[in-house]
Amino acid sequence: MKGLSYEELMARKNQIVKEAVGIDYDDFEYGKIAFDYNRMMSESTYSLEEMIKIQKETKVGNTPLLELKNINKLIKKYAEAGKGARIFVKDEAANPSGSFKDRRASISVYHAKKLGYEGVVSATSGNFGAAVASQAAQRGLKCIIIQEVYDSKKVGQPEILEKTRKCEAYGAEVIQLTVGPELFYTFLKTLEETGYFDASLNVPFGVAGVETLGYEIANQMMELEGKYPDIVVATTAGGGNLTGTARGLIKAGAINTEIVAASVNLYGLSMASDNDFNKKSFTTGHTGFGIPRAINPDGTDVPRNVSRIFRYMDRFVTITQGEVFYATEALSQLEGLERGPAGNTSLAAAIGIAMKTDKDKIIVVQETEYTGAGKHPMSQLTFAKRNGIEVRRGNPKEDKPGVNIIIPEKFYQINEQNIDIEDLKIRYIKNLVNKYDIKTIEKEDFEFIIEDTNSDANFVRASLENLGVKVLV
């Protein structure tokens, strides 16, 4: 009998994941901290052509790219002379379960079927769970979804409960948990007990599956406008959305497209806090996931996470909860597209960026998601009020996460805020130094950090030396 205490199960984490994914992560390790990211992605996944074929079998991909003509008119109305870029949106709600995550799930579930697994397990707040369940249903596999749903008072967020319904509609078994470390524990325990495949957000197959999204964006924009998009805005939580999209854009030839990460500003709210859990109105695409995953990408359910946004991101911006709610209503009432909250995070950021960008430029919001009763702004705002959050119209600059939600009074009040990427990279390097207890660093690890942060040698050297690390290069 294997011990089931938290400590005993965590000690078996790597072996459990190895058996549940079919990847020996040790094969890609070298140096003290480095791993061969590019080889892992090339050897552990499928070619772009193979993934397009796999996704077509289960109704995934080839979604429309739509210009937001009425929103673009408003942008030009309020932008300064010569400014006012056009926004297009990639309508990923057209996928089977209603989000881009069908692309991630399609490759993982296909691979699980190919390797002979009886079922798949995923830990997720919901959209990915629905995608895994949808794909598992089509491939004839069993599916278990583990969700962090409630606070200690057994109060669940309407958005997550809506996602529970969605997962169950596709035939998945859903295990609902309260907030805390039990999510990861239950996930590993379930993998070990069932012998099912680990359909994680962070395995190579899942991230590679999103490459088709970036590839489609580049080719569709070339067909529509005769050029690649100037800017692509991706909602960022765990980082796989941006990583996969950027890789696909590059494979299509769109190497000069600016990649912008966007997250809802939830600074000050801890995602692991029972007290803070229901003080937010967004369960994904926010800084509570986006920042920790950027500066500690390997702090996940797998030994090495292939979602690594520093490799591909040119800019990181935040937007307030109220601005996202405003953008959601604008998309519905001006464009006739009622879509869910995550994609509207990048839409809100894109509106702010467009008003400051040259009018001949094109911005693509790279995903939408389905909406439903629990995801609707009224459900979320009513829930916020019940939890003591003030909801009112006003200036978004007055927004305080966990205290209020300020919905803009005017369209031009939408204004993204920049995050200092260099500061995030320094924090990432600090995490590496502390995790691996680095006192000195040699060439292979030094070059890995340069690659993983997409920085120059002088920046990395200075960051390490400021942390007291001797650089032997």
CA distance 315 to 317: 7
134 pLDDT exceeds 70? yes
Section 58-79 average pLDDT? 98
Type of residue found at 23: I
| Mean pLDDT of all residues belonging to the chain | 95
Of the pLDDT bands very low, low, confident and very high (cuts 50, 70, 90), residue 2 is: confident
Please give the pLDDT value at position 175: 96
Give the closest residue to 326 by CA, choosing from 355, 305, 348, 304: 348
Section 93-101 average pLDDT? 97
What tokens were used for 204? 């190579």
The sign one gets for the Cα dihedral 455, 240, 427, 285 is positive
387 pLDDT exceeds 70? yes
Which pTM value belongs to this model? 0.96
Of the pLDDT bands very low, low, confident and very high (cuts 50, 70, 90), residue 137 is: very high
Distance of CA 169 to the CA centre of its chain: 23
Please give the pLDDT value at position 393: 98
CA distance 66 to 310: 28
Q: What is the pLDDT of residues 426-462, one digit of tens each?
A: 999 999 999 999 999 999 999 999 999 999 999 999 9
Section 101-110 average pLDDT? 97
Beta strands, E only, 292-398 = 315-319, 362-365, 390-394
Section 351-362 average pLDDT? 98
Q: Residue 210, class by beta-carbon neighbours within 10 Å (0-12 exposed, 13-18 middle, 19+ buried)? A: buried
Residue with tokens 């990583």: 243
Of the pLDDT bands very low, low, confident and very high (cuts 50, 70, 90), residue 64 is: very high
Section 237-252 average pLDDT? 97
Give the closest residue to 184 by CA, choosing from 200, 167, 203, 164: 200
What tokens were used for 180? 């805390």
Of the pLDDT bands very low, low, confident and very high (cuts 50, 70, 90), residue 270 is: confident
- Beta strand pairing status for 417-418 and 315-319? antiparallel
Section 249-266 average pLDDT? 98
Q: What is the pLDDT of residues 166-208, one digit of tens each?
A: 999 999 999 999 988 888 899 999 999 999 999 988 899 999 9
What tokens were used for 203? 């395995």
DSSP-assigned beta bridge partners for residue 159: none
Residue with tokens 């801890």: 270
| Helix-then-strand count for the chain, H and E | 19, 17
Q: What is the pLDDT of residues 323-346, one digit of tens each?
A: 999 999 999 999 999 999 989 999
DSSP-assigned beta bridge partners for residue 232: 259, 364
Of the pLDDT bands very low, low, confident and very high (cuts 50, 70, 90), residue 272 is: confident
CA distance 431 to 426: 9
Of the pLDDT bands very low, low, confident and very high (cuts 50, 70, 90), residue 57 is: very high
Residue 98's φ and ψ, nearest 5 degrees, are: 95, 15
92 touches 368 (CB < 8 A): yes
The DSSP call for residue 80 is P
CATH for 6-23+99-206? 3.40.50.1100
The DSSP call for residue 365 is E
What tokens were used for 250? 């590059």
Please give the pLDDT value at position 292: 94
> Which pairs with CB-CB distance under 8 Å and at least 24 residues apart come from 162-166?
162/126, 162/372, 162/373, 162/374, 162/375, 162/379, 163/125, 163/126, 163/127, 163/129, 163/130, 163/374, 164/126, 165/372, 165/374, 166/97, 166/98, 166/126, 166/129, 166/130, 166/133, 166/372
In this structure, the number of other CB atoms found within 10 A of the CB of residue 168 comes to 15
Q: Residue 255, class by beta-carbon neighbours within 10 Å (0-12 exposed, 13-18 middle, 19+ buried)? A: exposed
Say whether 120 sits in a helix, a strand or coil. strand
- Beta strand pairing status for 258-264 and 231-235? parallel
Please give the pLDDT value at position 443: 97
Please give the pLDDT value at position 73: 98
135 touches 109 (CB < 8 A): yes
Cα maximum dimension of the chain: 72
Section 295-324 average pLDDT? 95
Of the pLDDT bands very low, low, confident and very high (cuts 50, 70, 90), residue 1 is: low
CATH for 56-98+207-418? 3.40.50.1100
Is it true that 6-23+99-206 and 56-98+207-418 share their CATH fold?
A: yes
Q: How far apart are the first and last CA of the chain?
A: 49
Say whether 394 sits in a helix, a strand or coil. strand
Section 275-303 average pLDDT? 92
What does R_g of the chain's alpha carbons equal in angstroms? Answer: 21
126 pLDDT exceeds 80? no
Q: Where are the domains of the chain?
A: 6-23+99-206, 56-98+207-418, 426-471
Please give the pLDDT value at position 98: 96
